[in-house]
Amino acid sequence: MAADVSAAELSAAQLTQRHRATLDQALQAIRTREYWSPHPENPKAYGDSGTGQGPAEGKAAFDALCGTEFGLDQPGTDGRVGDEVSPYGVELRISYPHPDPDVLIPAMRAAIPAWRDAGPETRALVCMEILARINARSHEFAHAVMHTTGQAFTMAFQAGGPHAQDRGLEAVAYAYEEQTRVPAGAHWVKPQGKRDPVRLRTTFTAVPRGVALLIGCNTFPTWNGFPGLFASLATGNPVLVKPHPRAVLPLALTVRTAREVLAEAGFDPNLVCLAAERPGEGLAKSLAVRPEIRIIDYTGSTAFGDWLEANARQALVYTEKAGVNTVIIDSTDDYRGMLANLSFTLSLYSGQMCTTTQNLLIPRDGITTDAGHKSYDEVVADLAAALQGLLGDDQRACALLGALVNPQVRERLEAAPSLGEVALSSRAVAHPEFPDAVVRTPVLISLDGAKPDAEAAYLSECFGPVSFAVAVDSTADAIALLRRTIRDKGVMTVGAYTTSAEVERAVEEVCLEESANLSLNLTGGVYVNQTAAFADFHGTGGNPAANASLCDGAFVAGRFRTVEVRRPE
């Protein structure tokens, strides 16, 4: 059943030579969780001075894709779809094959046995070759991510490129380690006193669950998509990739690259297929409940995530939904650093990250700082000023904010002033290169946490560049509200600023009890909304914002089962 890898263009020896050492480093990294990445995050590291496409080559490759029929030689194609429009105002005019699942899914299932028989190491090395080729095309991916998500170029390059590749490799490392915790075989020898021992030979095979469905999101198609894709593929499952209809291209490029590598390595390329959808088709919903779909990875709204968890009962469902991320401001010994750090977090990608802080809980009597006592109003005003300073220059603002990803975000932004007192208004920013880009600075709304009508605002997720400064009675009150927020609404991130060891312990205890990741006193170049693969966990999987964490053993352990065969020896 095994693919004849020796006859393939890409031999097992080549794969080992190229990637085994890096796999070992990745395995070490997930053990130490220290900083590590094999993918340079500096765009200048690619091209002439390094490996892969350079900037011009990447741009040209992206431009060449626009206005074409995106080729994917996969079976079961039923017409073409696609109408992506860049948040920067450009129509991509790319069409993709539309799938006939009744043809495509059986073809994917037929690919399973040879991929299963290849074993964990070969699967890991093939996945790493896919990632390496994606890495070499990081500039092309950057433009694809930029023009589907609205991220500014540098962020699209880093988060959509090397950082996403890191998360994919992290999943490959976890998948490999999990499958190899059990040996391939064992000799079972049970002593029988004075009689001869009983002897059996046992074999253990990691078998996939079935076809995996990846449901991509609009804002981070690769960063949020790669972990599930590579975790499923590395554990032997074919993966059907259903991108968000507004962010197809980055995942279509991913699928094409994966198919090329699989074929070269002697495997069936149908192990990775694309399922682009017609407008309003609801393809994710109909695919998700098919009996062949045994794993689903999803990033997106709480409503659809909850629907998947309730209805796709035949599948393991890994979801990242919405949360109400919170920062407690109790006190600080670096007031300026805190304001700078927070204003960057609130601005980056116009707050369109699942990790962006929404609520800033501030005692109404103010806080102690290295710059003296600051009243609630002063803290809010100073944060507004820091935001204004950070985003005062249009070009710099555009590089930080990117564009609004879709009209719904703009509508929420425009409706926000009605929710409370406007501490900082949003302003439209002219983009130097793309005049039709919708670029807006964040709005900061001040709310009195004690007022019941305010609670309806700050305890709902308001995805986009809208944050709430919430006046609370005390730090203890803030901590109680934090607990309620995590428990009832979920969070991806929690931050706290305090110089009090007691407050620090109390916040930490709430995060441990309610299962939330905490960043304390960040005032420098690390932000509460950013996590690094191999080192940081993205979410905990233990509160309503997500049932999975990127990446841990739980993220991979259920994607395969171990089948034991025993026979007398």
Residues that bind a second copy (CB under 8 A): 1, 30-35, 112-113, 116, 178, 181-183, 186-192, 198, 200, 202, 204-205, 207, 209, 309-310, 313, 508-509, 511-513, 515-526, 532, 535-537, 540-542, 549, 552-554, 557-558, 561-568
Burial 84-119, CB ≥16 within 10 A → b, else e: bebbbeeebebbbbbbebeebbebbeebbbbbbebb
Q: CB of 542: closest distance to a second copy in angstroms?
A: 4
Long-range contacts of 299-306 (CB under 8 A, 24+ apart): 299/215, 299/216, 299/217, 299/220, 299/224, 299/225, 299/354, 300/215, 300/217, 300/244, 302/461, 302/544
Q: Return the number of the residue (430 or 565) whose C-beta is nearest a second copy.
A: 565
Burial (0-12, 13-18, 19+ Cβ within 10 Å), 333: middle
Q: CB of 51: closest distance to a second copy in angstroms?
A: 19
Q: CB of 346: closest distance to a second copy in angstroms?
A: 19
CB of 320 within 8 A of CB of 309?
no
Q: Return the number of the residue (95 or 517) whose C-beta is nearest a second copy.
A: 517
Q: CB of 195: closest distance to a second copy in angstroms?
A: 9
Which two three-digit tokens encode residue 65?
A: 């894709």
C-alpha span between 530 and 502 (Å, rounded)? 26
Q: Return the number of the residue (8 or 554) whose C-beta is nearest a second copy.
A: 554
Q: CB of 128: closest distance to a second copy in angstroms?
A: 21
Q: CB of 92: closest distance to a second copy in angstroms?
A: 34
Q: Which amino acid is present at 126?
A: V
C-alpha span between 200 and 191 (Å, rounded)? 12
Q: Return the number of the residue (93 or 505) whose C-beta is nearest a second copy.
A: 505
Q: Which amino acid is present at 515?
A: S
Q: Return the number of the residue (33 or 396) whose C-beta is nearest a second copy.
A: 33
For strand 293-299 and strand 211-215, is the pairing parallel, antiparallel, or unpaired? parallel
Q: CB of 533: closest distance to a second copy in angstroms?
A: 12
Q: CB of 18: closest distance to a second copy in angstroms?
A: 24
Q: Return the number of the residue (215 or 510) whose C-beta is nearest a second copy.
A: 510
Strand, helix or coil at 547?
A: coil
Best CA proximity match to 255, nearest among 292, 297, 221: 221
Can you tell me which residue has the tokens 């080992």? 16
C-alpha span between 447 and 232 (Å, rounded)? 44
Q: Which residues pair with 469 in a beta bridge?
A: 360, 446
Q: Return the number of the residue (314 or 368) whose C-beta is nearest a second copy.
A: 314
Q: CB of 183: closest distance to a second copy in angstroms?
A: 6
Q: Return the number of the residue (158 or 257) whose C-beta is nearest a second copy.
A: 158
Tell me which DSSP letter residue 248 carries: -
C-alpha span between 3 and 24 (Å, rounded)? 24
Q: Which residues pair with 318 in a beta bridge?
A: 297
Cα of 160 vs its chain's centroid, Å: 9
Q: How many CB atoms lie within 10 A of CB 453?
A: 10
Best CA proximity match to 243, nearest among 279, 275, 212: 275
Which two three-digit tokens encode residue 298?
A: 């999803």
Q: Return the number of the residue (121 or 448) whose C-beta is nearest a second copy.
A: 121
Tell me which DSSP letter residue 91 carries: B
Q: Return the number of the residue (215 or 516) whose C-beta is nearest a second copy.
A: 516
Which two three-digit tokens encode residue 232?
A: 């499923």
Q: Return the number of the residue (6 or 313) whose C-beta is nearest a second copy.
A: 313
Q: CB of 202: closest distance to a second copy in angstroms?
A: 7
Q: CB of 130: closest distance to a second copy in angstroms?
A: 25
C-alpha span between 206 and 101 (Å, rounded)? 26
Q: CB of 480: closest distance to a second copy in angstroms?
A: 17
Which two three-digit tokens encode residue 249?
A: 């291209």
Tell me which DSSP letter residue 217 carries: -
C-alpha span between 527 and 404 (Å, rounded)? 21
C-alpha span between 241 and 224 (Å, rounded)? 12
Can you tell me which residue has the tokens 């916040």? 507
Q: Return the number of the residue (422 or 557) whose C-beta is nearest a second copy.
A: 557
Q: Return the number of the residue (226 or 527) whose C-beta is nearest a second copy.
A: 527
Can you tell me which residue has the tokens 């009983």? 198
Q: CB of 67: closest distance to a second copy in angstroms?
A: 39
